[in-house]
Structure formats: C-alpha cells, structure tokens
Structure 1
C-alpha cells in the first residue's frame, strides 16, 4: 500500500516543482548559438541608440568609425604642349615685304641729291640694302608683265601686276643680278615667291633692290608708306 501511494502522488507534482540543480541544468542546456544571437542583437540595438546615428560616424564606448571617404576625383589629362604653327604662306592678295627680315633703307622716295652722274634727283622708288645675292620675294600675288636682263638704267628687272584692295598695282624690282630672274612674262606668282637676286646692274652705285610701285595711271608713290599700311 505504501508503495502504491507513492506512485500515485508522483504524477500529481506541478511541472515547476523542479529542484534547483534541475533548473540550472535546464538553463545550461540552451544551445550556445542561440545565446550568441541574442547578445549580438542586443549589442547592435544599443550601439545605434547610443550613437545618435547621423549616417557618417558611429560612436560607442569611446571608439569611432569614420565613413569611407569618397573616391578621389579623376586626374584630368593634360594635353602635351603643342608648338605654335608656322604662319601659312601668304595667298589671296596678301601683302608682304620683299625680304623676310628688316633691311637698311639706303635711299627713300622723293627728291634727293643725285648719287651719281646720270642718276635722277627725284627718286621714284625705295632702295633696300639686303646684301648682294639676297633673295627678293614678290610682295603680293600677281602676274608677271615684264622680265628682262636688258632694262637700261633698271638693269635686270621684273614687273608684277597685282590687285590689292580692289586696285591694280604694279611692283617693279630693279638692279637684280644677271640671270637671277626666277619668273617669266605671263606667269602667275604668289606672295613671297622668288623674283630674283639682289645685284647692281643698270644705273646703280652698289648692290641693292630698287622697288617702285604705281597704279594704273603710272604715277609712282612711296613703297615704304604703302607696304607699312598693307603689310605692317
């Protein structure tokens, strides 16, 4: 009877009436992974709440984590320096001086003391001393109307007719070296093209270019002033 009573009372004990040792065993029996997840979630929530998260910096317990800086701006490609282009050849009525460099003017346009017997006291052109044998260039595009080695007082000379600013202008290049003329009658030339070489043929006291300019009326005018206006 005693045994039967004991067996009867055992199932009637409440589920919570476990001993302290049994309760501890039950708590320790929880899987470790479950405990870690609970702690991780708790720390994450506390971190956000304490930081006052502003999207850039998270601060907790004296530590900080800076947001990643933006990527550096791409470096602009720098083009290699380009050398300045050489000026294009003068075409289409461009005007230039007969020599590419500055030269000495030995005699200007207008009245003068005659430099030699038979030389005129009224100078119809401009005498330019570029040196014996220097290359003479056409002052403008045009057409050759005279080219001869037998020009009397002019010696070997060439005439080139051009149209500048709507006006027909003729340039006469005199006292050139014999056989140095580089153009023929009827030939079209461009500004800067070789006309001939500086010489002292005809009525000349030494090697120089005698340059004359005139319009259709044949009246000579100052080449220095005209070239300064049109060629600079």
Structure 2
C-alpha cells in the first residue's frame, strides 16, 4: 500500500485563473469614454497648431484654469493690433477773440458817424422838406441790387438849393468817396435828437460849417452829383441818436411842410 504524505502547511491552494480580457478591457473602455468626453467638450480650434492660453468665459469666470486652448497665431496678432491702440483726440485750437471795437455813432456806413449824438439846440419850431417844392423820388428806402439803401434819392435839377429841415446845429460836413460833399444836422424833435443827412452837393456849394446853428429852411448847398452818383440828386437820410435809419418820406409827410 502506497503511503500518502500529508500536504505541507506552506503550500497555498491554487486559485482559478481569470481570463486576461476580463481584466484588461474595462480600463481601456473607461479611457476611451473619457477621451471621447474631452474631445466633444473642446472647440475644433483646440486641436490646431499655434500658441495656447487660458480660456475665460463670456461672463468673466474662468471655465478651466488648467485647460489650454490653442489658436492660430495670426488671429492672436490681429486681436492685439485691433484692441491695443489708443485714441488721441486733438485739443482744438481756440479761435482768438477779436479785440473789442467801439460801436460806431451811426449805422449804414455814413462818414464820420455824423456826430448826431452831440447836443442840439432847443426844440425846433417847425419841420420842412429838403426842397421848398415837391420833387420826384428816385430810389426809395430799403434793399436794392447793390445793398441796403439807407435813405431816399430826391431828384431835383442840377444846382437846385437844398435846405435844412429844421432848427438845428451842423454836426458834420466834408467830402466822402461815396457821399461826395455832405452835411449832417442835428435837430431836437419831441425831446429827441433827430439827425438829417444830405449828400452829393456840387463842389464848393456848401454854405455851412460844423457847429453852426441853423433855422428851418436855411439853404445849406446846391444839388449835384459828387461821390457815388450817376445823376444830380440829393441823397437824404433820417435817424435818431441810435443810428437806425428809417424811411424819411412817411415821417416828413406826417410832420413837415413846404
């Protein structure tokens, strides 16, 4: 009879062998699923060549501090060129303020301001027309082709005497390239200084001087065509001390006589 030796106490019992595939496939499957998840979560540009930088969401929060996004280098440069400029707004050069000019004594470009602001004598006793008889009127008061006409043109024959329209004082007299030989007279009417203007006298015909006091109807010169005149006439203007011209015909029609 064959004797049976007892098993050694140090010998471990045999475990059943597992199939190799059962041990290897599960980890591989997990890795595949993880790679697929990563691939679908990144934009296509993440797999292109170029530089990489941290990606930040539109709201400002970081989507992933460790995740890197690769973009085309030319696109990154374009972003820098577009957003990296500064706008220098030029400081406008202030327009120099012209020096203040003293206000003229009268408007309409009349020579010498005519001195209508000077004191006039006592209230006039009457008003008359520049001629002692009715005459034709050429250009009236108002705008015309060459500009504003500040008075009226009284068409009397060459050498016809022109007279002061009221008691007053001669405030200006002389020659001007536009007015020719002229005279200005200040008259007190209703407590206001009324200035009357007379232009285009014949050379050497003016009979009054500045500062001379006159009475209504005094002859001050003879009708001519000196200065800017194409025909013999008297250019006549009226205005108060403010220098604003007004149409003298309605005023004289209402207040003057021959």
TM-score category of the 2 structures, normalised to the smaller one: 0.5 to 0.7
Measured in 2, the distance between the counterparts of 1:191 and 1:165 equals 16
Q: Map of 1:79-94 to 2, 5 A cutoff?
A: 92-94=124-126
Quote the residue 1:109 is aligned against.
141
Output the TM-score relative to the length of structure 1: 0.56
Partner of 1:136: 162
1:165-212 CA-to-partner distances (Å, cap 9, x unmatched) read 221110110011111101100000000001100000011111000001
Asked if the contact 2:124–2:188 (Cα under 8 Å) also holds between the matched residues in 1, the reply is no
1:98 paired to 2:130: yes
Aligned residue runs from structure 1 range 1-232, under 5 A: 92-114=124-146, 121-148=147-174, 150-232=175-257
For residues 147 and 136 of structure 1, the distance between their equivalents in structure 2, rounded to whole angstroms, comes to 14
Looking at structure 2, the residues matched to 92 and 160 of structure 1 have their Cα atoms a distance apart, in angstroms, of 12
> What secondary structure, in the 3-state scheme, does the structure 2 residue paired with 1:225 have?
helix
Stretches of 4+ aligned residues off by more than 6 angstroms: none
Whole-angstrom CA distance in 2 between matches of 1:221 and 1:92: 20
Q: 1:187 & 1:98 partners in 2: Cα distance?
A: 18
5+ residue gaps, structure 1, are 1-90, 115-120
The CA distance in 1 between the partners of 2:180 and 2:152, in whole Å, is 16
Change in CA separation of 1:182 and 1:124 when aligned onto 2, cut-off 3 Å: same
SS at match of 1:211: strand
> Quick check: 1:198–1:208 contact (8 Å CA) kept in 2?
yes
- What TM-score do you get using the length of structure 2 for normalisation? 0.51
Residue ranges of structure 2 left out of the alignment (5+ in a row)? 1-122
Provide the secondary structure at the position in 1 that maps to 2:211: coil
Q: Does structure 2 conserve the Cα–Cα contact (< 8 Å) formed by 1:93 and 1:163?
A: no
- Root-mean-square deviation (CA), in Å? 1.3
**How many aligned residue pairs are there?**
135
